Amino acid sequence: MSKNLISRLNESPVICAEGYLFAMERRGYLQAGAFVPEVVLEHPEVVTQLHREFIRSGSDVVQAFTYYGHREKLKIIGKEDKLEVLQKNALKIAKDTANEFPDLDLMIAGNVSNTCVYDPNDNSTIAECRKMFEEQVAWAKEAGVDFIMAETLSWLEEAKIALKVIKEADMIAVTNITIHQEAKTRDGYTPEDACKILEDLGSEVVGLNCSRGPKMTMKLLPKIREKVSCHVSALPVPYRTTEEEPGFLNMTDHNCDCIPGGNAFPVALDNLYCNRFEMGEFAKECAGKNINFIGICCGAEPHHVREMAVALGKKPLSYQYYPDMSKHQAHGTDPLLKKVNTDFALKF
Ligand SMILES: [Zn+2]
């Protein structure tokens, strides 16, 4: 198998687990709100462990946790001076963890995201974005990543800047736009038009990540698949976003009235979570539609990733512990189980 993403995608679907910010916030290693990956400096061992868990679950890609570790985000927590060391640490952690699994032929991805500075009414922000992308892409390239993902870009124009920088560095690009409530980029392009433009500008893979759950993401994918001829990516959030609330940045949990401010995003989404099987179905549907770069964004946990891998016919390392209810004391069928409990199964 080749480390080249495109030849891998030509052969079969590639799984990419991401969503590190949410996972680390839930574990108590970074703060919701600013959402800066300080954990790569303060508790690198925790990042290593999550990489391991995603790898064991079947992620083919180890994505360096540089997401939101950019200049603007660090500025907001007063740690802009930590930029370079944070980025380099994240890249090193990803590489070192991948090296623990020499038999798996993992790919390492660099990652850039929305800069939070792009403003279509202020031309000076174009240069500012460009500079931010340039420094991050240079560090990723220096670290020897296999490709670079540009993500959660909801302005097509900002996505184009990121892509241009990645292509100038002669790297393979996965460019993911994020579609919020209205099924258009913030600068008014349909997802399929935006993806086509990015393909024409040289992105090897184009698609969607974040914001929408599997159903609301799937609604947009067929038109993208139809419009572009390159590989398509799909990395939804594992939440049940709806027609009424298609994006998870504004979501209501109708069964709970104690969420401060009433918005379940970002830290009270628990009740709206997709289970592993919903994510497995999503993966299968993607593969059936020739959408081959399949993953999961904010909210991802290893059990989701494993079910997606299994749905794609793979047997990841943690398949060793795939559920087997035949051994359950109440619901099982194993002859060693006690009848007094299996007879009571439906009354438990
Ligand atoms: Zn996300």
Is residue 238 within 8 A of residue 208, CB to CB? The reply is no
Q: Cα(330)–Cα(333) distance, rounded to whole angstroms?
A: 9
Is residue 8 within 8 A of residue 2, CB to CB? The reply is yes
What residue ranges do the domains of the chain occupy? 5-315, 321-348
Q: State in Å: Cα 255 to ligand 1 middle.
A: 24
Q: How far is CA 238 from the centre of its chain?
A: 10
Q: State in Å: Cα 256 to ligand 1 middle.
A: 23
Query: Could you count the other beta carbons within 10 Å of the beta carbon of residue 219?
Result: 15
Residue 217's pLDDT band (cuts 50, 70, 90): very high
Q: Could you tell me the two tokens for 270? A: 């628990």
Q: State in Å: Cα 19 to ligand 1 middle.
A: 6
> Per-residue pLDDT tens for 155-204?
999 999 999 999 999 999 999 999 999 999 999 999 999 999 999 999 99
Q: State in Å: Cα 343 to ligand 1 middle.
A: 45
- pLDDT at site 322: 98
Element (H, E) at 208: strand 205-209
- pLDDT at site 181: 97
Taking a 5 Å cut-off on Cβ, the residues next to ion ligand 1 are 210, 297-298
Q: State in Å: Cα 280 to ligand 1 middle.
A: 18
- pLDDT at site 176: 98
Q: State in Å: Cα 29 to ligand 1 middle.
A: 17
CATH dotted code for 5-315: 3.20.20.330
Q: State in Å: Cα 59 to ligand 1 middle.
A: 16
What is the overall mean pLDDT for the chain? 97
Is residue 269 within 8 A of residue 248, CB to CB? The reply is yes
pTM higher than the cut 0.75: yes
User: What letter represents residue 102's amino acid?
Assistant: P
Q: State in Å: Cα 165 to ligand 1 middle.
A: 22
3-state secondary structure of 184: coil
Is residue 107 within 8 A of residue 3, CB to CB? The reply is yes
Name the nearest CA neighbour of 239 among 179, 305, 300, 320: 300
| Mean pLDDT confidence for 55-71 | 96
Query: Could you count the other beta carbons within 10 Å of the beta carbon of residue 333?
Result: 10
| Mean pLDDT confidence for 82-92 | 97
| Mean pLDDT confidence for 56-83 | 95
- pLDDT at site 3: 66
